[in-house]
Amino acid sequence: MKIYDISVPISPDTPVYPGDAGVEIIRTVEIGPESPYSLSKLVLGSHTGTHIDPPVHFFPQGLAVDQIPLEVFVGPARVVEMREGPAVTAAFLEGLKLPSQVERILFKTRNGDLWDKPKFQRRYVYIDESAARWLVDRGARLVGIDYLSAEQYGARDPKTHWALLGAGAVILEGIDLRGVPPGEYLLACLPLKIRGGDGAPARAVLIADS
């Protein structure tokens, strides 16, 4: 069994989507003469690093992150690689000859190279509306992308989020698939249980049989 950690580290250097809170890790207690332990205070946004977008992120009546059944986050998942093009499209997906039902799918793109850059990068591969609707039609419950948003940066309307979250699917954003070969895995992705959360950081791993 091989376990791939596809989560990005959370630190003050972690890039964040414009408008999101930056990361602060503040040591409030140090081990020393006055204390046998250390403590820290974390300041970060709900969409920091590797994180989940639940339906309530765009739909007030949608499920919050703590209301989503855990089986959505744990189960078989397919990693699909796309090295060319600005966006994952329905035409690209049609060419893959995927099964008629696609419950969990993660997209590995050239976005992986962006994790080596210290600041947020606006030109990243995204998932377009046609692909989102294609996946919804095939029963997708979780869709992942290897940068901080599934939506094109600066899009006038968030049609990809509307299509996926409006159908009750969740989006796993900010994963790092650079060391993961395309193929079939067991995904375990557990977001923080934030009551009513519009998003939550998660530790996500992929497990291969051999």
Catalytic machinery residues: 57
CA distance to 65, 170, 187, 190, 191, per residue, from 70 (Å): 10, 12, 12, 8, 10
Give the helix ranges, DSSP H, for the chain: 90-94, 129-137, 159-166
CA distance to 14, 100, 135, 158, 159, per residue, from 103 (Å): 29, 10, 9, 22, 20
Nearest-angstrom CA–CA distance, 16 and 125: 16
Q: Strand 104-108 to strand 200-208: parallel, antiparallel, or no bridges (unpaired)?
A: unpaired
Let me know: does 126 contact 87? Beta carbons within 8 Å: yes
Nearest-angstrom CA–CA distance, 55 and 65: 8
- Run of H or E residues at 107: strand 104-108
Token pair listed for 1: 């069994």
